[in-house]
Chains A and B, each alone.
Chain A
Amino acid sequence: MKKTGSMVCVGTGMMLGAHISPRSRSHIEQADVVFAAVSDPVVELWLQAMNKDVRSLQNYYCEGKSRHETYREMVEAMLVEVRLGKRVCGAFYGHPGVFALAPHKVIKQARIEGFDAHMEPGISAEDCLYADLGIDPGRFGCQHYEASQFMFYRRQIDPSAYLILWQVGIAGDRSLSRYSTGSAYKQLLVELLAEHYPADHEVIIYEAATLPISKPRVEKLALSELMGTELHLQSTMVLPPCQAMLRNEAMIARVEELERVLNSKVTVATTQQ
């Protein structure tokens, strides 16, 4: 038998008022308690107007404290209320399941404990990026990585596709406790990227607008200029392709052969009728 408490994680979108879905909004309005993790202080006040019990998850962050601990505390804070039988809503900026650990964890754990739990999607920073920069990820393909993870692991980079690095403002932070990393870390990232891209390759620093009175940040610069560029927690780096896509002639020949065989079978079948 399902227990009475429930957990839903919703996305508020990136821009106040513009992106939230009707269903996500009603989850926020109808919940017994709402936990908020949003990107802008004004957005948090906006949520407080939708429900009388909105609790900020900002209090769990602390510079110098590992974010592993922060995320565990967030999950536990939400589960405590679920176990009390409450309808709990986690309101996360953007999409609650994209580059966000706690929403996935709290849903998984709530289900293990026998509670109803699900996620409602939202408009993510990635969605805004495509709109603001005029990029279609289907045109050349698109690789996405968390910037530090990109540095710590060997990845197969395809320079004929877009490469998008998230959380580039804290690239290289192994402690998970900093709010920024310095130019020496950026230098390492540039050196890693220089294995695939020329130093003068134009990259874009992007930050989505969070209020309707603001504009997105779209700053174009050479890869080698990254060290001198101010990066924030919300900064994302976009590397457009630096090579043309290479045709896979062997596979195309195999597809042609397959089509030739299939067509000849159709011809034989038609002739026999």
Chain B
Amino acid sequence: MSNVIQFLESMGKDASLSMMSPEEYAAAVKALSVDDVAQHALLNRDQNALSDSIGAYKKMMMILVPAEDDDGEGKDNDQDGDKKQEEEISNN
């Protein structure tokens, strides 16, 4: 695990680290063994610059649900959609 990820994980799970004052936070970042770009991104709390500095994807797609489920059979017409929903409701 890289030092940056390790630092973020510690901040995420440790209440005292998550409540650091700006001065404590800056000191903690400066004490990390990371390159200048990552350190700068951390100090500025710049999420995009941090991603760039550690070689993460630039843009993430996070939409995991469609407005309508096609149930693997192409687009439903309204009647089919209604029927499927009725079946789902009666199965629950």
Contact = CB atoms under 8 A, between A and B. Distances in A.
Contacts of A148: 67
A222 interface: no
A249 B57 CA distance: 57
A37 B64 CA distance: 8
B83 interface: no
Interface residues of B, number: 34
A45 B9 contact: no
Contact of A18 (B13, B58, B62): B13
Nearest to A92: B64
Contacts of A212: 8, 11-12, 17-18
Contact of A17 (B4, B8, B45, B47): B8
Given A38-B60, A99-B64, A176-B66, 12 more contacts: A17-B13, A44-B56, A46-B5, A58-B60, A61-B61, A100-B65, A102-B64, A147-B67, A149-B68, A167-B63, A211-B50, A212-B18
8 interchain residue pairs of minimum CB distance: A17-B12, A41-B56, A148-B67, A49-B1, A18-B12, A17-B9, A212-B11, A100-B64
A42 B63 CA distance: 17
A66 to B, nearest CB: 9
Contacts of B11: 17, 212-213
Interface in A104-131: none
B54 interface: yes
Contacts of B70: 68
A112 B47 CA distance: 42
25 contacts: A17-B9, A38-B60, A40-B51, A41-B57, A41-B58, A42-B51, A44-B56, A45-B5, A45-B54, A49-B5, A56-B57, A72-B72, A100-B65, A101-B64, A101-B65, A102-B64, A152-B67, A167-B65, A173-B67, A176-B66, A176-B67, A211-B12, A212-B8, A212-B17, A212-B18
A89 to B, nearest CB: 16
Contacts, number: 114
A176 B1 CA distance: 36
B47 A38 contact: no
A33 interface: no
Interface of A: 15-19, 37-42, 44-46, 49, 56, 58, 61, 67-68, 71-72, 92-93, 99-103, 146-149, 152, 167, 170, 173-174, 176, 179, 210-214, 233-234
A229 B10 CA distance: 34
B77 interface: no
B65 A146 contact: yes
B8 A211 contact: yes
Interface in B57-92: 57-58, 60-70, 72
